Amino acid sequence: MVLTHGIRSAKNDAIILIAAGMLAHNGFNVLLYDIRNHGESDKDNGRVAAGNKEYKDVLGAWDYLVKVKGFSPDRVGLYAISLGAGTSLMAFGQEPQVAALYVDSPFLNLPEIIKAELARNNYPTLLWTPATLMARLSGENLLAQDPANAINNDNGRPIYVVHGTADTRVSVNQTYELESLAKTGGANVIV
């Protein structure tokens, strides 16, 4: 299992380490790593790209297990939390050989997430469009990838989703939207 942490976190955060310990205790091999601009990873610009660059880190970790360590692709899944969850949805949608995906508190609708982050930081939500344009001018296209591609490209692969209703960072409505999309498209999603 490739385990991906959340925003402003790292591979040595207690939340991801608890999951890694439980998986390892139950016979899973686990790979912990830091996504870009977090923990011990490279700091290219110090900014989070809402998964739009970080999904390549997830795929790099998956590639390492498959191409370097020799694990069969059908035996390598993804486990992720929050930012890592939305990022892993993007990666899952890009790589059809990832066996399974387990996400905790994922995001699906990036414009809603951007608006929520603006509100959380006491900025008017109407700034979401100018904010994405400014980010693009600085080299960050926050809308380049669509986490919904995981649902549209699941091809029967299982996606497991959990999300607490008390989450103050990523609204549980993101998971409800994911669940609705999955039902409409007939995706193999368990919420």
Structure tokens at 24: 């390892």
d(CA 21, CA 52): 28
Over the stretch 64-87, which tens digit does the pLDDT of each residue have? 999 999 999 999 999 999 999 999
> With 0-12 CB in 10 A as exposed, 13-18 as middle and 19+ as buried, what is 168?
exposed
d(CA 123, CA 128): 9
Average pLDDT over residues 40-55: 88
Judged by average pLDDT, the poorest of 10-24, 41-55, 172-186 is 41-55
Over the stretch 106-152, which tens digit does the pLDDT of each residue have? 999 999 999 999 999 999 999 999 999 999 998 889 999 999 999 99
Query: CB-based contacts of 82: which residues, under 8 Å, 6+ apart?
Result: 6, 7, 9, 104, 105, 106, 107, 169, 170
What was the pLDDT predicted at 147? Answer: 95
CATH no. of 49-190: 3.40.50.1820
Half-sphere exposure of 166 (CA within 13 A, CB side): 0
What was the pLDDT predicted at 187? Answer: 93
d(CA 20, CA 26): 10
Q: Is residue 111 a contact partner of residue 55, using CB atoms and an 8 Å limit?
A: no
